[in-house]
Structures are given as structure tokens and as C-alpha cells.
Amino acid sequence: MADNNRPYNLVGKNFTPPDIRAKVTGRATYSEDYRADGMAYIKMLLSPMPHALVTNIDASAALAMEGVYGVMTADDVPSFPNPGEQILSNEPNFVGEPILAVAAVDETTASNALELITVEYEELPFVLDPMESLFPGGPDAYNGGNLVSALRAEEQDEVENIGVISHKWTARDFAAVADGQLPMGEPTMDWQFGDIDSAFEDAALVLDETFVTGCNSHHSMEPRSAFSYWENGKCFVHGSTQSQMFIVPALAGLVGVPPDQLVYISEFCGGGFGSKGGAYAVMAVPAHFSRLIGRPCMLRVTRAEEYYLGSARAGFQGRAKLGFNAEGKMTAADVYIVQQSGSKNPFSDYGSAGGMVALVYTPTNMRFRAIPIGTNTTPCGPQRGPGQNQMSAAMEPLMDKAAIALGIDPLEIRRINAPDHDALTGGERRQKVSSSYMLDALDMGAERFDWASKIARNGERNGSKVIGIGIGQGYHGAGISGFDGLLRIMPDGKVHIHSGVGNLGTYSYASTARVAAEVLGASWENCVVEHGDTRKHLPWTIGQFGSLTTFTMSRANYAAAMDAKQKLQEIAAMDLGGAPEDYDLANETVFRISDPELNISFAQAAQRAIELGGKFSGAQAPDDIFFLTQASVGGIAGTGLVGVARDNIPLNEHVAAMTASFAMVEVDVETGNYEILEYVSTADCGTIVHPLGLEGQVRGGAVMGIGMARSERQIYDPQNGLPGSVNLYQAKPPSYLDVPSIMDVAAVDKPDPNIPMGMKGVGEPPVGAAVGSIISAISNALGGHYFNRNPVTPDMIVNAVSGNEQSNSPLQIFTQ
Amino acid sequence: MRPENQSRRSFIKGIIASGAVASTGGLMFISGCSDNSSIPASGSVERLISLNINGTVRRVDVLPNETLAMTLRNKLGLTGTKIACDRGECGACCVLLDGVSFNSCSMLSHSLTDKNITTIEGIASPAGELHPVQTAMIEELAPQCGFCTSGQVISAVALLDQNPNPTRDEARQAMAGNLCRCGAYDHYLNAVLRAAGEIA
């Protein structure tokens, strides 16, 4: 992707991010890389059962061991409302939930001490499949229910009633559907627009399909290790999180201190993909233990532990009834999603699933129903495109099915239904999108892929190998507003841009800081990005998730830079005469437009700001910024010219990013294996901010989507509820050899109107586009066989080709 | 991924001799442990050994069951070597042994006294001049989160030492033991080929 031709010095250009050298030299410090004198090492005892009550703990022998500093149980830490994540729990509801922890001189001693601890449990019924839990009399995964009560309409107004309830469908609901079809009892979410009944009556084609999308782990390379100590009443936490400032209030709550008593350091994060977007309970274990024993504490989470207690994408059991007119327009969609939500608070994948169908396929009439049901499995949280990307896996092959039935080209049916700038979101309140260039992305991708010649090869057979061609589409929200930006110009002339967003590895913390430099006309070499540590006086910003950083932080940094620009102009007018608007910025100076010789350097202006005080030096801060930003402004006040502002730029539309992908696969019908021969992906992400960073996101998202399509899923032993995918070789994220070694990526590069320079985030849609395109390509290679499930594994392909029954029933989840 | 003089059997025998297996629980929650204590361990192996690391001989107190990854990270302060799976599946802990890339989580430190060990910290010159592989990875924006990057650099350096001019597919095969969840494979391969061009 070449640097673009916009009139920007920095935006749209490649650069060397300030933290990348540390990554290639091994000097980047992640949470487990910190050491302190006298530190203790923690090992946790994890629940061996999917649902139980701890009735007795005997740790006396462990406590008597040499080198053991202490044992911490659930009684020593705060507990949180059911079904929230607990730091330690006496009522575990998934295999791997931490029961207690031991701190010792080293990990070996701590592990040996765990062996001497006796825990007695009372086993409770457990459930893996929402259908079983919804069946009358079925077991509940939470203690006291299977559904968060606030989600059920009649409970929503009763604040006291927050908690869980047992929600069952009727036997009649189950009996009302044919074998293998999703029953559709009382949901918790139910919205519609238009009139689907008459639309189905008028439709030229109606599809009615039941499908399952897989639950898969996040597999972050860095497990969620944490290190913590206390100093002068303050708690220091080194954690692995995608976000920096966004973590602080929630983590302070987990640790039990006010936010200003927490020092949070997360300069690097070894992967999160949604699983480390917010604070999570286990990262508070070393903080509490450190307070208990008065030593710095390290919790090194192992790979297996990460699989047990980390996070996973929620699985869906769904049904989609789709109506099309003869021209291929989707006139009706009736979609029902049952979300397998895992053992703790459900994430809103199910809601996003409905939004995805409404926006990507723009049905003229739609009804959407959904319900999230707890399961005694790994807690499920957001994973890169939560909800939207499961729907890409389920819906894209159905678009092909409709295309074949109606005799329409698969590209054309997507073009006919693609959202334009007037497209509306789903939900109770429909909102217009800020911009949508899905059509452009489809056309650009089709051209790069050479669609016409490729689709002509679909079904081409060479020995046991068959060519398949597929298209996938992905969408995600791409930005919100209302966060703070903060920067300061120092008396040495350097511009320090304070970023509280986090460092997930997308480099967007830096590329959005460049927006501030762009506004100020500063050279990048003269800028310093302050990030990764609350002691660096960081502003309150969104966390690094939801494809939000690029849009949200560009706006916040723009707002702070405009504030600094205004102050620079005022200082220049004060000292050189004229009005502020007579001045502009370039080359780290503020100069008079009519006479550029008349100027003040940034260094001089910073010195003047310190002398002037008030708003110029940060001694006075705007009232509308968040209290954590107020504190940070206070920390740097008087050191330079401070630019600080809340992003109050109007935003009344839904910011959306889109991606289209095209894949050519070669399926070996004898082995069920397949290779991806060609892959093209094109993104609608507004103005390109950082070409190489964007390429990395689109390709990286494709790798993750290929994993969803071909291999990644959690499995459980149905008899005992034990997880069976707790190592990489079992959980199967893609390696170099599972993905094409060259992926062609590009972007539409058309600006969004809701942000000064037009950029939008695009971290998530490439995943959905990838999984949709691969599964569609496999289906098309097999002449339109629909698996209605992801991942599509080789045995499924062999069964389909040989006409054998699949080894799993249509609604079965956690399948091999 | 073991030194040629150490079979899987001798690796397992080493572990058994240390008593680690006997203390492992029924569930696999308890795995490879750091150990920086003065608590006596069973076994009769000499604990103070010499390891040649990044051109310097380091004397270090090592337990019989201790892996090189643990020694590097917990005894020698070389935390650039990452532990992501601790069982030879992901390549994040790769180091060079006499120029060949190995998973340091799956080798006992005791078996490596006759090897030249190079960790990620030893890839750039002592003056801080980056290896062409490192420079190329920066230019291609290969690392994302960075946690697998040390291992990717090590495997790329080992490859180019053996085969200074690999094809893209040869590079792909050679790097296949290094997982990257960010999915930056394409960019790492671009970097390997770019570095090959620089070296040649």
C-alpha cells in the first residue's frame, strides 16, 4: 500500500513506531519481565470441576512448608456480584476457576505446597449446551440461574433484582420444530423493523437454516501474568492489558483502592484480541497477595491456565430465515441467536450479530431475537469482532446459496445488498452510518482478484483437488467520541503527546498521536509519545478495543492539538501584536501569516506559557474533562504549554468500518484438507493513517479468520465437563503453513465525514471477511454444500463428499 | 528441537531424576517452574555450572530439572527470551545453540555447558548495531504485539546463516515453528527476504 497523496505531512505516511526497536531486540518488558528484591511467586489452585461448592480447605501442611509465605483464599479478597468474574471463588462454575493461591520463595515451592492442600468440594450439576439448560428442568451454569436477570425485559426496571434467574423454555417450544432445527422460545432481545410476514409471502426465495458457530480461545501469546507490590500506600500493578487508562477505575475496584492510589504499568501487551480489553479479576491476585504478605508478588500464568481461565469467543446456535426477491435483494430476515455465553457475565456478541445482519445485508424487513445462556465453560468475552464475525461465518455461505438458487453471480448478490451511506443499523433505535464504502471495497477486491476469471474456475477439478471461490464480508463499529486528549510543548521545544490508550501492538497509539503533530505542524522527530504508565500523566481515553482507537483517539488528539494551537496563537498575538487568527503554525514555530519572519518558536512559547500560567500552563484545566485527566493535567501543570480538551466534536451517526475478502481454495476431496491459493482483502477504513500498520491489521485479521474457518474451537468432555483444548496443538491457531504466504490487501481510502481527517478503525472486520470467504469457497468447491458450522474441519469435508452423515448433529456445540 | 547429543529420552530421564514428575498433580495446571531459591533439591548433579551465553561465560546455580528458558529469565536476567507455551509448541523461547534455533523451554540447562548460546539480547552488536534481520523486521513492521518476536528473529537469523538466499517457501517452512497470534506471518516473511537481500 503506497503512501497516499493527501495534503498531510504525517497522516497516511509510514513511520517507525517508538516501541518497535525494543521488540526486535528483546528489551520490551511485559508484565512477567519485572523483578524486585524479595519477590514471591504465586501459584493458584484451580477448580477441577465445572461446577462445585468448596466445603472445606485444609492448607496447614502447605503453610508449614519451608519457603511458603502464605495461602490466600476467597475469604481474603473481595467478591463481586454473580455471575461476575471472581478473584478467587468458593463457588467455582468452570474448570480452572481459581480457588486459592500460594505464595512462596519460588514457583517450585509454591507448586509443591499446592500438592499438600486438601480441598473438599460438593459437586453441582453442570451444563455445556444452552439447549440443555433451556430445556424444562435443565441444569443452570450460574449459581441460581442461567441468565443475567437484567437482560429479561420484565426485570429491567427492578434494580434490586440484578443477579441471575433460571430461564426455561417450554417443552412445547422444543417440540414445535423439526429435528435439527433451532427451537425458538422466549428470547431476551427482540426487535424488528418492517413487516417480515408479508415480505416472506412475497419473496421469490426463502432459505431457513439452522447453524452453529464455534467457541474458540483467544490464544494471546502472552498469558495474563501480573506482577504487583505496594509502596507508600500505593499499589503498583504491572499487567498485560490492551488498554492503559481505561483499566484504571475497574482495576482499582478489584484491588480495593481509589483510582489515584493505583499505579498501572502496561507498556507492552503480548496480545489480547479482546480478552484483555478491560481489567480482569485474576490480575488482582498478586496485588492482594502482596498486601497480605508484604512482598512483591509475581503471578506467572501458564499456557494451560490461560486456556482454562483466559477467555473465548462465545459460540452461537442460530437460525436464519432469509427472503429474497427475484433480483437478489434480501427483503426479509428473521434471525434467532442462542449464545453459549460461558460461565461468567455474557458479552453482547448476540446483539452485535443482529446489528451485523441488518447493516451488511440491508434487509428491508427484519426481526431479530436472541438470548445469552450461561455454560460451565471458559468465561467468554469479546474476541475481535464479537458477534459480527460469527455472523460472517454463518451468513456468507447462505448468500452464495441464494445466489445459486436465483441464478445470480455471488459478487452481484453482495453488491445488490451492500450498505451505502444511508444504511441504518439494526436495533430498537436505528441509526444512520457515518459512511460505508462496502461497494467500493467489493469492486476494488473483485478487480484485484480478477473475479470474472476466478469464478469461472470454480469447481475445476484436478485429480482429487477441486477449486473453490468465495467472498466474505466483515463489519464492525469503528469509533466513538467523548474522550480526552492531552499534550504539552516543553521549553526545549519538544512536543510530548500523552496517550492513555494502551499498546496492543497495532501501533495506533503512535499513529493517532501523529494526528496531534499534524495539527501542530510539528515534525515527528520532535515528538515524544508518553504512554504505558499512569505516572506519565496520561489522559482518560478509550481502551484499545472495538476498532475504536484510530477514530476515537485521532479526534481526542485533534481536540487537544487544536487547544494547543489556539494557545500558541494567543501567545503570539499577545507578544507580537495582532489577533490570534493572524497566526499559523509550521516548523515548530507560530508565525504571522502576513509576515512569516514574525514568529515565536515552540520553545519560546512554552516558556511564555509557564510564565503566563492559567490555562496556558495547565494550572487551569477545562471543566468537562474526566477526573483522571484533571489529575494528569495537575501533574504536568507549569512545565510547558499544555493542550488539553475533551473530544466534543459532534457525532450523531454510527461509525462503521467494512472489509471484503476474496479467496480461492483448492480442496482435496480425498483428505478433506485444503489450501488457500489466493487471498485478497480490501478495507473501508476511511483515510489511511499508517499504511503498513493497516496492512498488518488486515492480514493479521485474515489469519485469525482463517483459524475460525479451518481449525479453532474449544472442545469439552460431555461426561465430566473437562476442557480438551488447553494447549496450542489442541486449540489450533494457524501457523505459517496454514495461511497463504502472500495476501494481497488494499484499502478504499475515502474519508469519513465525522472526523477532521477522515480516518476510521478497522481491526475487526478483516476477520469476518476472511472466515466468510474461506467457508464460502469450500462450499462452492463442493458444489454448494452448506456445513452451517464453523470451523469446517477435514473430516466434515470428507463426510460431505462421500455422502456420509456428519459425526455431529446440527445443533451440537463443542464438536471435534 | 533438541541438541543432537540430547535425546528425548535423556531429557525425560533428567526430569525424572530431579523428582519433578513425582510432584506433578493429576491435572496439568502445575508446569515448568522458576526456581531461584536456596532450598536444596534432590539429585546429585553439580548445581553451579558454566554457560557460554552471548559470548560471555556465566556461572550460574541451576537445578537439575531447570530448563534453559527458566535459567535465562530467572537467573540471568535475560528476559528477552519469552515463555509462551513452555512445551515446545510455539517458538517464542527460541535461542541459538551453535547457530541453530532451539526451543529453550524444552532443554535442560545442564546439558548445554558445551554449547555457544545466543539469545535475542546477543543478536545486535554490543555497540547496539542491529542485525539485518532486526532492521528488516522494523522496516516491514513485522512485530505487532511483539511477544513472539524474539523467537522469530532467532529463527530468521538461524535460517539465513544456513541458507543466505532462501525462497519465500523455504523461509516459510523454516519459520513454521514460530507461532504468531497477531498473524504477522506475511510481514515476517517479507522481513526475512529483505534481510537476505541485505546480507547477500
Q: pLDDT (tens digit, 9 = 90+) per residue, A393-417? A: 999 999 999 999 999 999 999 999 9
Residue B32 maps to a domain: no
| CB contact (8 A) between residue B134 and residue A25 | yes
| CB contact (8 A) between residue A111 and residue B30 | yes
Q: Both B97 and B67 in a single domain?
A: yes
Residue B180 maps to a domain: yes
Q: Both B12 and B72 in a single domain?
A: yes
Does residue A374 have a pLDDT over 70? yes
* DSSP H or E run through A104: strand A98-104
Give the residue with greater pLDDT, A692 vs B36: A692
Residues 103 through 162 of chain B touching chain A, CB cutoff 8 Å: 119-121, 123-124, 130, 134, 137-138, 140-141, 143-150, 153
Nearest residue to A454 via CA among A188, A680, A176: A680
| CB contact (8 A) between residue A220 and residue B36 | no
Q: Both B12 and B92 in a single domain?
A: yes
Cα gap B26→A160, rounded to integer Å: 43
Does residue A267 have a pLDDT over 90? yes
* DSSP H or E run through A754: none
Distances (CA, A) of A242 to A303, A660, B82: 19, 26, 19
Residue B14 maps to a domain: yes
Going by pLDDT thresholds of 50, 70 and 90, the confidence category of residue A1 is low
Cα gap A186→A172, rounded to integer Å: 12
Distances (CA, A) of A763 to A128, A695, A701: 31, 10, 7
At residue A152, the pLDDT reads: 73
Name residue A368's beta-bridge partners.
A191, A335
Residue A686's CB is within 10 A of a number of other CB atoms, namely: 31
At residue A151, the pLDDT reads: 77
Q: Does residue A144 come out as left (phi exceeding 0), alpha (psi in the -120 to 50 range) or beta?
A: left
Whether chain A has a CB inside 8 Å of the CB on B95: the answer is no
First to last CA, chain B: 28
At residue A163, the pLDDT reads: 86
| CB contact (8 A) between residue B144 and residue A696 | yes
Residue B3 maps to a domain: no
Determine if the peptide bond prior to A83 is cis (ω within 30°): yes
Q: How many domains would you assign to chain B? A: 2
Residue B100 maps to a domain: yes
Give the residue with greater pLDDT, B26 vs A181: A181
Is the Cα dihedral A300, A241, A267, A683 positive or negative?
Answer: positive
Q: Both B175 and B116 in a single domain?
A: no
Cα gap A748→A658, rounded to integer Å: 10
Does residue B2 have a pLDDT over 60? no
Distances (CA, A) of A637 to A488, A559, B154, B198: 9, 19, 45, 48
| CB contact (8 A) between residue A505 and residue B146 | yes
**Contacts with B84 from chain A: Cβ below 8 Å:** 221-223, 270, 303
At residue B25, the pLDDT reads: 33
Strands A330-340 and A365-373: parallel
Going by pLDDT thresholds of 50, 70 and 90, the confidence category of residue A150 is confident
pLDDT tens digits for range A286-295: 999 999 999 9
Going by pLDDT thresholds of 50, 70 and 90, the confidence category of residue B10 is low
Going by pLDDT thresholds of 50, 70 and 90, the confidence category of residue A158 is low
Q: Both B99 and B158 in a single domain?
A: no
| CB contact (8 A) between residue B182 and residue A700 | yes
Is the Cα dihedral A85, A89, A93, A95 positive or negative?
Answer: positive
Nearest residue on chain A to B89, alpha-carbon basis: A728
Q: Which of B96, B122, B148 is the last residue of a domain?
A: B122
Going by pLDDT thresholds of 50, 70 and 90, the confidence category of residue B108 is very high
Beta-strand (E) ranges in chain B? 48-53, 56-61, 94-97, 100-103, 116-118
Residues 11 through 40 of chain B touching chain A, CB cutoff 8 Å: 20, 23, 25-37, 39
Residues 235 through 274 of chain A touching chain B, CB cutoff 8 Å: 268-273
A422 to chain B nearest CA, in Å? Answer: 34
Cα gap A347→A381, rounded to integer Å: 5
A412 close to A403: Cβ distance less than 8 angstroms: yes
A705 close to A766: Cβ distance less than 8 angstroms: yes
Residue B177 maps to a domain: yes
**Contacts with B120 from chain A: Cβ below 8 Å:** 25-26
Cα gap A775→A674, rounded to integer Å: 11
Q: Both B104 and B151 in a single domain?
A: no
Residues 302 through 341 of chain A touching chain B, CB cutoff 8 Å: 302-305, 308
Considering only the beta carbons, identify the residue of B34, B78, B137 that sits closest to A41.
Answer: B34
Cα gap A100→A89, rounded to integer Å: 8
At residue B89, the pLDDT reads: 97
**Taking residues A514-531, what's their average pLDDT?**
97
Q: Which of B74, B104, B122 is the last residue of a domain?
A: B122
The gap from C-alpha A800 to its chain's centroid, in whole angstroms, comes to 34
Q: Both B13 and B103 in a single domain?
A: yes
Q: Both B109 and B180 in a single domain?
A: no
**Residue A486 has what DSSP assignment?**
E
Is residue A699 exposed (0-12), middle (13-18) or buried (19+ Cβ within 10 Å)? buried
pLDDT tens digits for range A424-474: 999 989 999 999 999 999 999 999 999 999 999 999 999 999 999 999 999
Which residue reads 556465566 in cell numbers? B58
Does residue A353 have a pLDDT over 70? yes
**Taking residues A303-319, what's their average pLDDT?**
98
Cα gap A474→A387, rounded to integer Å: 11
Does residue A313 have a pLDDT over 70? yes
Whether chain B has a CB inside 8 Å of the CB on A723: the answer is no
The gap from C-alpha A718 to its chain's centroid, in whole angstroms, comes to 29
Selected for mutation to probe chain A from B123, B131, B147, B155 (highest A CB count within 10 Å) is B147
Going by pLDDT thresholds of 50, 70 and 90, the confidence category of residue A155 is low
Does residue A156 have a pLDDT over 90? no
Residue A758's CB is within 10 A of a number of other CB atoms, namely: 21
Q: Both B21 and B92 in a single domain?
A: yes
- Residue B178 sits in a domain of what CATH number? 1.10.150.120
**Contacts with A702 from chain B: Cβ below 8 Å:** 183
3-state secondary structure of A461: strand
Does residue A226 have a pLDDT over 70? yes
Does residue B41 have a pLDDT over 70? no
Residue B2 maps to a domain: no
At residue A816, the pLDDT reads: 80
Q: Which of B89, B122, B155 is the last residue of a domain?
A: B122
**Taking residues A482-491, what's their average pLDDT?**
98
Domains of chain A (ranges; CATH) run 34-124+219-309 (3.90.1170.50), 315-479+653-802 (3.30.365.10), 481-646 (3.30.365.10)
Which residue reads 471543566 in cell numbers? A623
Q: Both B107 and B143 in a single domain?
A: no
First to last CA, chain A: 39
Range of the domain at B140: 132-199
B198 close to B132: Cβ distance less than 8 angstroms: yes
Nearest residue to A544 via CA among A512, A503, A499, A513: A503
**Taking residues A661-687, what's their average pLDDT?**
98
At residue A7, the pLDDT reads: 86
What b-and-e string marks burial along A27-57, b requiring 16 or more CB atoms within 10 Å of the CB?
Answer: bbbbbbbbeeeebbbbbbbbbbbbbbebeeb
pLDDT tens digits for range B64-99: 999 999 999 999 999 999 999 999 999 999 999 999
Task: Report the mean per-residue pLDDT for chain A.
Answer: 96
Give the residue with greater pLDDT, B12 vs A439: A439
Is residue A457 exposed (0-12), middle (13-18) or buried (19+ Cβ within 10 Å)? exposed
**Contacts with B73 from chain A: Cβ below 8 Å:** 33
A167 to chain B nearest CA, in Å? Answer: 34
Cα gap A347→A389, rounded to integer Å: 14
At residue B46, the pLDDT reads: 83
Cα gap A771→A175, rounded to integer Å: 33
| CB contact (8 A) between residue B143 and residue A268 | no
Residue B31 maps to a domain: no
| CB contact (8 A) between residue B29 and residue A46 | yes
Nearest residue to A777 via CA among A658, A695, A691, A679: A679
Residue A67's CB is within 10 A of a number of other CB atoms, namely: 17
| CB contact (8 A) between residue B143 and residue A108 | no
In chain A, the largest separation of any two C-alpha atoms, in whole Å, equals 86
Q: Both B138 and B64 in a single domain?
A: no
Q: Both B137 and B172 in a single domain?
A: yes
Give the residue with greater pLDDT, A606 vs B5: A606
Predicted complex: ipTM over 0.95: yes
**Taking residues A366-378, what's their average pLDDT?**
98
In chain A, the percentage of residues whose pLDDT exceeds 70 is 98
Nearest residue to A344 via CA among A376, A370, A316: A376
- Residue B74 sits in a domain of what CATH number? 3.10.20.30
Task: Report the mean per-residue pLDDT for chain B.
Answer: 85
Nearest residue on chain A to B152, alpha-carbon basis: A24
